[in-house]
Amino acid sequence: MKVLLTGNEAIARGAYEFGVAVAAAYPGTPSTEILENIAQYREIKSQWSPNEKVAMEVAVGASIAGARTLAAMKHVGVNVAADPLFTLSYSGVNGGLVLVSADDPGMHSSQNEQDNRYYAKFAKIPMFEPSDSQEAKDFVGLSLDVSEAYDVPVLLRSTTRISHSKTLVELNAASERLVKSYVKDIKKNVMIPGHARLKRLHLEERYKKLQEYSETTPVNRVEWADKKVGVITSGIAYQYVKEAMPDASILKLGFTWPLPDKMILDFASRVETLYVIEENEPYLEEHIKALGVVATGKDIFPITGELSARIIERAIGGETHLPGQLAENVPMRPPVLCPGCPHRAVFYVLKQLKLHVTGDIGCYTLGALSPLDSMDTTICMGASIPMALGFEKAHPELAEKTVAVIGDSTFIHSGITGLIDIVYNHGTSTVLILDNSTTAMTGHQENPSTGKTLQKDPTTQVDMEALCRAVGVKRVFTVDPFAMDELKELIKREVATREPSVIIAKRPCALIVKHEAPLLTILHDNCVGCKMCMRVGCPAISHGNKKSTINAALCIGCGVCAQVCKFSAIVGDIPLTPIS
Amino acid sequence: MKTHNILLVGVGGQGTILASKILAEVATMQGHDVKMSEIHGMAQRGGSVVTQVRMGEKVYSPLIEEGDADNIVAFEKLEALRYVHYLREGGSIVVNDQQIDPMTVITGAHVYPPEVMEKLQERASDVLVIDALQLAREVGSIRAVNVVLLGALARKMDITKESWLEAIRRTVPAKFLALNLQAFEAGYSG
């Protein structure tokens, strides 16, 4: 039976069909749905981990203990997990281990466009690149087989258009989920220098054997057609090539580290003109050119953003690609904080106080945009807290003018060590944890601070206040962000205090709670058209004919606009007391 | 058959994802090769969202190129204008007569363009304007805008009405089925 699955659903199905027994991940677009779908298979022990490094290490432990395992993350998550990955390449596996990296060409929802294929070469581990959902599923099985046969973790590299496109997939029954027995072997699993040096030699032997695999695996194949034009390609780019160049001969690479040198040389010698077509970096091209092959690649095809069939056609036709020409001068529609979002109140207050804000990664990063304009920096997960300390170390007077802002899930991910650094190194920074009881931006996943697991089962909840106190922060406060005056006074006081403090602004995400609060309306007799309410940047409020209006279909009655209005023009059916 | 391309555009939170599920189901039921691509990383955050559905004998790329869409379904007027250049010559566009101001308009940085429908008509020969919000309200829930619009799209496509209804039955939870079947009917009969 064929069904339409996203690449992520297909990878989850592959984990089920090919005997994965343990799976772990941290959410991150476009990888999140892999574990959400694996969670449907109760035969697999699956979990959200606090961050990608931990997820990877759980997978490493399960693999060495004997289970087939899968770890999944977005491209930048692999940076976090790189430490265990590089040394696992030395020790190898027991049960097969596949690491899924979902890259984001075009940066639809990411802070950079890194091409994680280089990780395979760098860590000396084999890599598969699927070009549709069927291959995404099949390659999970191949990855596990290669992992066990060559004693090595395997990288399965997806991209947004693989992970989030639906294509037809043939479903099969699950094979038996056998967990191998564990045998202690310190030469293999204790990577002290004496053991690692032996393994280092083994890595090069393994590379030669994997090269042989690459030359013979059916996922590296030639599709012969007209030999005037040949194309070497992989991943989603293969689909664009098939569409743009139906007459070309194609060397389609599904296994892209190590590369099949003999196959490449043979193919190149049989075609008149050779193109290397790949999204983002010239990963294949550099290798192919180093073999002495003459080919055309990034000199005509773009290195940035996503490819498409049209971009390929135009590049070959000699046109430079111009990014999407709009038919009209149409205003942009960037994502915004939702109506009733608890973050809005915090950023409004931070703007009023004219503070510098070292920010972090989540929905609250949207606080950087107009009209809230309340974020100075966003670099990576967890950076907000140590960066606030860095601001203070560079300019001591900035300590009283800077706050770090981080979400609950991001704080657990990699904010805690930064907070310890502030305490340890005599910092005085103020840290705001925006605790909305979920991992919101990636679509509402549970995390250790929500008290629920991936499967929504109850579990021990991290006590944020106690955690902050335990690392040595004496000034820890919890506040409702909708109590804006209280929040403002608290922040003013704490930035002025010469010791570290943590303010937990606690209020669940507006999309996960049913609100009992009344909807708000604007009394047009009281409204003087000052547009003060427009400054909170709520999509439910609009302004025309010198009066503001609230869209009842969008408003959830959070009351932030009512607190900002100086003319008592915004009212609800019952008094606006913060909901606890 | 030639590959048929349908572009769904709207604002995060308008229900484009359910609409594209139903569309993918009906396409698969015709025995076609189908590919569907969605950008939904921040879809709940009120940003511009796009779903692309392609069906045919054999479909390679999941992406629709500019000037190649046979149908566009726009859940919001401004989004119709943003993507109208994806329509092929002779293609048709179904547009929901609803205005949702983007934050760039709310803050006053930009003006919501006037006369959107006229501009669409200048660029496309077949523009079907539909007040899906009102029709959805009439069948019982403004959340059914998405299926009302599919009903309108069905008028423009060569797929039997019974196939569409079956796709809805297979996709929508039982609790909301009656509502959605009515919503489809409302869009289909206009």
Which residues on chain A are in Cβ contact (under 8 Å) with B85?
A: 325-327
> Mean pLDDT in each 10-residue stretch from start to end of chain B (190 residues)?
92 88 93 88 73 95 96 97 95 96 88 94 95 96 95 96 97 95 95
Q: At A449, list the tokens.
A: 């601070």
The count of other CB atoms within 10 Å of the CB of residue B12 is 20
**For the segment A100-111, what is each residue's pLDDT rounded down to a tens digit?**
999 999 999 999
CB contact under 8 A, B102 and A329: no
Which residues on chain B are in Cβ contact (under 8 Å) with A29?
A: 41
A275-A280-A282 Cα angle (round to 5): 50
CB contact under 8 A, B104 and A539: no
Q: At A55, list the tokens.
A: 């997820």
Query: What mean pLDDT comes out for the span A291-319?
Result: 96
Q: Any CB–CB contact under 8 A between A517 and chain B?
A: no
- Cα B24 to chain centroid, rounded: 12
CB contact under 8 A, B82 and A330: yes
Beta partners for residue A231, in sequence order: A250, A275
Q: What is the Cα–Cα distance from B25 to A489, expressed in whole angstroms?
A: 55
A288: burial class by Cβ within 10 Å (0-12, 13-18, 19+)?
buried
Which residues on chain A are in Cβ contact (under 8 Å) with B19?
A: none
- Chain A residue with CA closest to B58: the answer is A243
Does residue A566 or residue A575 have the better pLDDT?
A: A566
pLDDT at res. A575: 47
Q: What is the Cα–Cα distance from B79 to B14, expressed in whole angstroms?
A: 12
A329: burial class by Cβ within 10 Å (0-12, 13-18, 19+)?
exposed
Beta partners for residue B37, in sequence order: A165, B52
Residue pair B82/A328 in contact by the 8 Å Cβ criterion: yes
B47-B125-B30 Cα angle (round to 5): 70
Residue pair A337/A367 in contact by the 8 Å Cβ criterion: yes
Q: Any CB–CB contact under 8 A between A223 and chain B?
A: no
**Stretch 43-82 of chain B: residues touching chain A, C-beta under 8 Å:** 44-48, 60-63, 65-66, 78-79, 81-82
**For the segment A373-412, what is each residue's pLDDT rounded down to a tens digit?**
999 999 999 999 999 999 999 999 999 999 999 999 999 9
Q: What is the Cα–Cα distance from A233 to A402, expressed in whole angstroms?
A: 48
Domain range A220-316, CATH architecture: 3-Layer(aba) Sandwich (3.40)
Cα distances from B157 to residues B33, B130, B132, B162, in angstroms, run 17, 16, 18, 13
Q: Is the pLDDT reported for residue A322 higher than 60?
A: no
Which ipTM score applies to this complex?
A: 0.94
Which residues on chain B are in Cβ contact (under 8 Å) with A168?
A: 28, 33-34
pLDDT band, very low/low/confident/very high, at A579 (cuts 50, 70, 90): very low
Domain ranges of chain A: 2-216, 220-316, 342-506, 520-572
Which residues on chain A are in Cβ contact (under 8 Å) with B81?
A: 327-328, 330
E strands, A372-421, where? 402-407
Mean pLDDT of chain A: 95
Q: What is the Cα–Cα distance from B184 to B155, expressed in whole angstroms?
A: 11
Block residue for tokens 């930048």: A76
φ/ψ of residue A450, rounded to 5: -95, -15
Give the gap in angstroms from C-alpha B25 to the nearest C-alpha of chain A.
8
Q: Which amino acid is at B113?
A: P
CB contact under 8 A, B65 and A165: no
Q: What CATH number has the domain spanning A520-572?
A: 3.30.70.20
Give the gap in angstroms from C-alpha A244 to the nearest C-alpha of chain B.
9
Q: At A36, list the tokens.
A: 């959400």
pLDDT band, very low/low/confident/very high, at A580 (cuts 50, 70, 90): very low
E strands, chain B, where? 4-11, 33-39, 48-56, 69-74, 87-96, 126-130
Residue pair A154/A96 in contact by the 8 Å Cβ criterion: yes
Q: DSSP state, A175?
A: P
Residue from B61, B83, B145 to probe the interface with A (highest A Cβ count within 10 Å): B61
> Would you put residue B46 in left (φ > 0), alpha (ψ -120 to 50) or beta?
left
Give the gap in angstroms from C-alpha B150 to the nearest C-alpha of chain A.
19
- Chain A residue with CA closest to B84: the answer is A327
pLDDT at res. A321: 54
CB contact under 8 A, A334 and B60: no
Q: What is the Cα–Cα distance from A563 to A484, expressed in whole angstroms?
A: 8
Give the gap in angstroms from C-alpha A229 to the nearest C-alpha of chain B.
19
pLDDT at res. A518: 64
CB contact under 8 A, B28 and A443: no
CB contact under 8 A, B108 and A534: yes
Give the gap in angstroms from C-alpha A17 to the nearest C-alpha of chain B.
23
Per the omega criterion (within 30 degrees of 0), is the bond before A30 cis? Answer: yes
CB contact under 8 A, A29 and B41: yes
Give the gap in angstroms from C-alpha B147 to the nearest C-alpha of chain A.
18
**Stretch 110-169 of chain B: residues touching chain A, C-beta under 8 Å:** 110-113, 119, 123, 142
Query: What mean pLDDT comes out for the span A50-78?
Result: 98
Q: Any CB–CB contact under 8 A between A369 and chain B?
A: yes
Please list, in sequence order, all residues whose beta carbon lies within 8 angstroms of the beta carbon of residue A234, skipping any fewer than 6 positions away: A129, A131, A252, A253, A254, A256, A278, A284
Domains of chain B: 4-189 (3.40.920.10)
CB contact under 8 A, B78 and A4: no
Which residues on chain B are in Cβ contact (under 8 Å) with A161?
A: 37, 62-63
Do A2-216 and A342-506 have matching folds? Answer: yes
**For the segment A489-523, what is each residue's pLDDT rounded down to a tens digit?**
999 999 999 999 999 999 999 988 876 666 788 88
Query: What mean pLDDT comes out for the span A449-466?
Result: 97
pLDDT band, very low/low/confident/very high, at A43 (cuts 50, 70, 90): very high
Q: What is the Cα–Cα distance from B130 to B96, expressed in whole angstroms?
A: 5
Does residue A19 or residue A324 have the better pLDDT?
A: A19
Domain range A342-506, CATH architecture: 3-Layer(aba) Sandwich (3.40)
Residue from A158, A333, A337 to probe the interface with B (highest B Cβ count within 10 Å): A333
As a three-state string, the secondary structure of A6-60 is EHHHHHHHHHHHCCCCEEEECCCCCCCHHHHHHCCCCCCEEEECCCHHHHHHHHH
CB contact under 8 A, B101 and A336: no
The count of other CB atoms within 10 Å of the CB of residue A406 is 30
Domain range A2-216, CATH architecture: 3-Layer(aba) Sandwich (3.40)
Q: What is the Cα–Cα distance from B13 to B45, expressed in whole angstroms?
A: 7
Q: Any CB–CB contact under 8 A between A555 and chain B?
A: no
CB contact under 8 A, B28 and A109: no
Q: How many residues does chain A have?
A: 580
Query: Strand, helix or coil at A367?
Result: helix
pLDDT at res. A555: 87
CB contact under 8 A, B45 and A363: yes
Q: What is the Cα–Cα distance from A297 to B96, expressed in whole angstroms?
A: 43
